[in-house]
């Protein structure tokens, strides 16, 4: 049994975007703070710290999860994927490129979490309806875009991955 006393930093090791990373965390440190401030991956953002806004969503062993509702110590040994890992080499991945094409972000603060949900969702749901996409996205709050571009981008990537050509113009 793992047991960590309060106020006692311990070592946490996890796989962040394919690379093993180690940092120090007290038992109470949130995974979101650990990723951002201990590991320096600041692409994951905090919007509410009570699990509603979705900005901090990362993938834990491939599954979209609120990083603010997990302790860093719970991530020990797990695979954590964040927005920083979504690129295709140096280039934007297809989902990111579609977001850009569709003006699916403005301030970009909520975007990292949305991309992580979409990444898992599209893996599991290759042929989503617009309602499926909206239902999945309803776990995220975006204050800038009115969501139109986001929905369009996700549907387009789903179609692309099934072999349809990308659109060229914006929404």
Give the nearer residue to another protein in terms of CB position, either 14 or 73.
Answer: 73
Of the candidate residues 12, 23, 81, 101, the single one contacting another protein (CB under 8 A): 101
| Least distance in angstroms from the C-beta of 142 to another protein | 7
Of the candidate residues 12, 14, 16, 29, the single one contacting another protein (CB under 8 A): 29
13 is a contact residue toward another protein (CB under 8 A): no
Give the integer Cα–Cα distance in Å for 140 and 95: 17
Mapping DSSP to helix (H, G, I), strand (E, B) and coil, where does residue 26 land?
Answer: coil
Nearest to 155 by CA among 130, 136, 137, 138: 130
Binding residues for another protein restricted to 57-76, rule: CB under 8 A = 57, 60, 63-66, 68-71, 73-74
Structure tokens at 58: 């990362």
Structure tokens at 102: 């569709």
Total binding residues toward another protein, as defined by CB under 8 A: 86
128 is a contact residue toward another protein (CB under 8 A): no
Strand order from edge to edge, sheet including 63-66:
19-25, 10-16, 79-81, 57-60, 63-66
CB burial of residue 38 (10 Å; 0-12, 13-18, 19+): middle
Give the nearer residue to another protein in terms of CB position, either 25 or 163.
Answer: 25
121 is a contact residue toward another protein (CB under 8 A): yes
| Least distance in angstroms from the C-beta of 163 to another protein | 24
Binding residues for another protein restricted to 137-156, rule: CB under 8 A = 137-151
- Tell me if 105 sits within 8 A of 148, measured CB to CB: no
Of the candidate residues 15, 109, 160, 167, the single one contacting another protein (CB under 8 A): 109
15 is a contact residue toward another protein (CB under 8 A): no
């Amino acid at each position: 049994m793992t047991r960590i006393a309060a106020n006692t930093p311990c070592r946490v090791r996890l796989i962040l975007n394919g690379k093993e990373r180690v940092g120090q965390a007290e038992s109470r440190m949130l995974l979101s703070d650990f990723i951002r401030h201990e590991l320096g991956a600041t692409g994951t953002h905090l919007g509410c710290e009570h699990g509603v806004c979705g900005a901090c969503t990362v993938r834990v062993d491939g599954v979209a999860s609120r990083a603010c509702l997990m302790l860093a110590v719970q991530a020990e040994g797990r695979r954590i994927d964040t927005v920083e890992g979504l690129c295709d080499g140096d280039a934007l991945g297809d989902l990111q490129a579609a977001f850009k094409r569709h003006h699916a972000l403005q301030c970009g603060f909520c975007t990292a979490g949305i991309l992580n949900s979409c990444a898992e969702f599209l893996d599991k749901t290759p042929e989503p309806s617009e309602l499926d996409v909206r239902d999945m996205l309803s776990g995220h709050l975006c204050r800038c875009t009115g969501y139109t571009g986001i929905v369009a981008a996700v549907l387009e990537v789903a179609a692309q991955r099934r072999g349809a050509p990308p659109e060229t113009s914006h929404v």
